[in-house]
Amino acid sequence: MDVVEKKKLKVATTSLAGCFGCHMSFLDIDERLFELVQRVEFDRSPLTDIKEVGPCDIGIIEGGLCNAENVHVLKEFRRQCKVLIAMGACAVNGGLPAQRNHLPLTDILSEVYLSSPGLGNGLIPNDPELPLPLNQVHPIHEVVKVDVFIPGCPPSGDAIWKVLTDLLSGQDPRLGHGLIHYD
């Protein structure tokens, strides 16, 4: 009798404008990571250190959009991933980085680089290697289609686990009472 191995799904992750706390919560699924790696293969992720995303079944993005590079990475991720997950408050609604949205970008840059002592030598950085800042921070669904949202700041490891195992089982993810909280 031949044993047919089930194909592992490819999963990729990235972080945009945020604190990387959602990736830390991803690690909070603890020993269940061993079960997960039996069912998925990681593409681009801090777990693999792969820098470019290839075709994937599931893409997980934390962080919002604060500069042109974030937008480029997001669009490439969406293009490569069958299912895109917005993980955490920054990806879902802009989170803490969006607190700057009520101020003009020129005022922020002036305060940081021209008014504060010791920063930038009185010059606003304009090196062509630096990504251009956006006037506002945006959640990712304002630029691309998002299939699944995992809210929280950060979401719990249990919430992330539930969404992933629902998707791996072919079910629509459902986060019930107790899995969504904001600490």
Sheet strands (E) in the chain: 9-15, 40-42, 56-62, 65-67, 81-87, 133-138, 148-150
The yes-or-no verdict on residue 121 having pLDDT over 80 is no
pLDDT beyond 70 at 5: no
Count of Cβ atoms closer than 10 Å to residue 30 Cβ: 9
Give the whole-angstrom CA distance, residue 150 versus residue 175.
8
Band the pLDDT of 182: cuts 50, 70, 90: low
CA distances from 117 to 32, 100, 114, 121, 124 (A): 48, 21, 8, 8, 13
For the chain, domains (ranges, CATH) are 9-100+135-168 (3.40.50.700)
Q: Which two tokens stand for residue 100?
A: 């700057």
* pLDDT tens for each residue of 72-110: 999 999 999 999 999 999 999 999 999 999 999 999 888
Dihedral sign for Cα atoms in the order 42, 43, 45, 46: positive
Interior CA angle at 164 toward 181 and 24, to 5°? 55
Residue 48 above 90 pLDDT?
A: no
